[in-house]
A and B are shown apart, each in its own frame.
Chain A
Amino acid sequence: MLDLLKQPWPWYVAGPLIGLMVPALLLLGNKSFGISSSLRHICAACIPAKIPFFQYNWKKELWNLFFVSGVLLGGVVVALFLQNPEPVQVNGALVSELQQYGISNYHGLVPVDLFNWSNVLSLKGLIMMVGGGFLVGFGTRYAGGCTSGHAIMGLSNLQLPSLVATVSFMAGGFFVANLILPWILKL
């Protein structure tokens, strides 16, 4: 059983379980599933700087900070007890593409060839970690939600703006992954 849990979970197991987070949070306390707003609450709690966008009672949204702390702990639990000892299995076409850029270590879900402490201050590291993170934080709040808030919660409630946002996420991702990222990886 434990061996089975340690293997990567197929989409038809993981997807429905993720979908069940929507009713779980609603039934537990009328909460809308969403992760990116936690970043806003962190700003409101730590660095509000009299900006109107951060002037609200963030303590009412404390549940969300507990939720994301749980997500982090989930990562710890997997690392301690459910780690898959095998490297990540990816499409051969991607493997040969990434090989050109010197990415060959598939032992972590996060590629250590790209994301590591000694890379943070290189140009590539700055663009990928600092720049990429900035776009994630700025973009999700500008859009009013992220993959969980729009693509899962918003679509579950049949919200048209969430569909527009989801299509925009995908369009932006396709554009950068195929046309821009190769240039960044070459650096």
Chain B
Amino acid sequence: MDSKETIQQRKHRRFLTENTDFEVRSLDAESFNESELIHPWYYNLKYLFAGLLFGIILVKAEVISWFRIQEMFRLQSFHMYGVIGSAVVVGILSVLIIKKFKLKTIYGEPIEFVSKKFNKGNIYGGLMFGFGWAITGACPGPLFAQIGTGATVIIVTLLSAVAGTWVYGKFRNNLPH
């Protein structure tokens, strides 16, 4: 890199290479937490099965319903708060147990957690997603499940969400983070 780089430029370059994604592990600079094992593609079928169960739960709990989301945002029902709240409690306990007993994956690799840094996108992007959530009545998971239940028109919403992700990627450098 150019040694005459200003602090501003360096900060910007660092931001561009930093992983701001809370979901994508393979992009973390220290890839210690990422599986080193190379498996054939069909090992991924277990995630298809996990997704299948998750999809069934989402639909049967009516989490994918536009009506339930409207109730949630009008404080007209406890249902969604109960679902998310109890999921978080079980999630916290599970993570505590995994950390306490240093549990390993089924392939014997240690399970590791990374802490992610705050950036302003957590707020601005979060608000934008909230707007979209109230309008479509769906977060990304339910979009897939809704299409599965036969609401084929939601393919339009999903494609538009892909487009939104692409536009974010395109203009990411110009957005406040």
Which A residues form the contact surface with B (CB < 8 A)?
Answer: 5, 8-32, 34-40, 42-43, 47, 49, 51-54, 56-57, 60-64, 66-79, 82, 84, 88, 90-91, 93-94, 98, 106, 108-111, 114-117, 119-120, 127-162, 164-178, 180-181, 184
Instruction: Give min CB distance, A71 to chain B, whole Å.
Output: 4
Q: Interface 1/0s, chain B 116-150, versus A by CB < 8 A?
A: 11110111111111111111111111011111111
Q: How far is the CA of A43 from the CA of B169 in the complex (A)?
A: 9
Residues of B within 8 A of A114 (CB): 66
Q: How far is the CA of A141 from the CA of B152 in the complex (A)?
A: 24
Q: How far is the CA of A49 from the CA of B171 in the complex (A)?
A: 13
Which B residues form the contact surface with A (CB < 8 A)?
Answer: 16, 20-27, 33-35, 41, 43-74, 76-92, 94-95, 97-98, 103, 105-107, 109, 111-113, 115-119, 121-141, 143-154, 156-170, 172, 175
Report which of A19, A63, A79, A159 forms a contact with B94, defined as CB distance below 8 A. Answer: A19
Contact B23 A74 (CB under 8 A): no
Knowing A137-B162, A164-B122, say if A70 contacts B48 (CB, 8 Å): yes
CB-nearest residue of chain B to A38: B140
Question: DSSP majority for the B interface?
Answer: helix
Q: How far is the CA of A136 from the CA of B154 in the complex (A)?
A: 13
Contact B161 A28 (CB under 8 A): no
Q: Find the residue from A16, A171, A173 having the highest chain B CB count within 10 A.
A: A173
Contact B51 A71 (CB under 8 A): yes
Q: How far is the CA of A14 from the CA of B65 in the complex (A)?
A: 14
- Which 10 A-B pairs rank lowest in CB-CB distance, beginning with the nearest? A74-B55, A172-B130, A75-B148, A70-B51, A142-B125, A19-B90, A168-B126, A137-B164, A156-B91, A135-B132
Q: How far is the CA of A51 from the CA of B172 in the complex (A)?
A: 10
Report which of A15, A119, A135 forms a contact with B84, defined as CB distance below 8 A. Answer: A15
Q: Find the residue from B80, B157, B163 having the highest chain A CB count within 10 A.
A: B157
Report which of A20, A76, A170, A184 forms a contact with B130, defined as CB distance below 8 A. Answer: A170
Residues of B within 8 A of A117 (CB): 152-153
Report which of B22, B72, B116, B133 forms a contact with A172, defined as CB distance below 8 A. Answer: B133
Residues of B within 8 A of A11 (CB): 61, 78-83, 86
CB-nearest residue of chain B to A149: B23
Residues of A within 8 A of B47 (CB): 25, 28-29, 31, 63-64, 66-67, 70
Contact B127 A144 (CB under 8 A): no
Q: Find the residue from A13, A84, A132, A171 having the highest chain B CB count within 10 A.
A: A132
Instruction: Give min CB distance, B41 to chain A, whole Å.
Output: 7
Contact A28 B138 (CB under 8 A): no
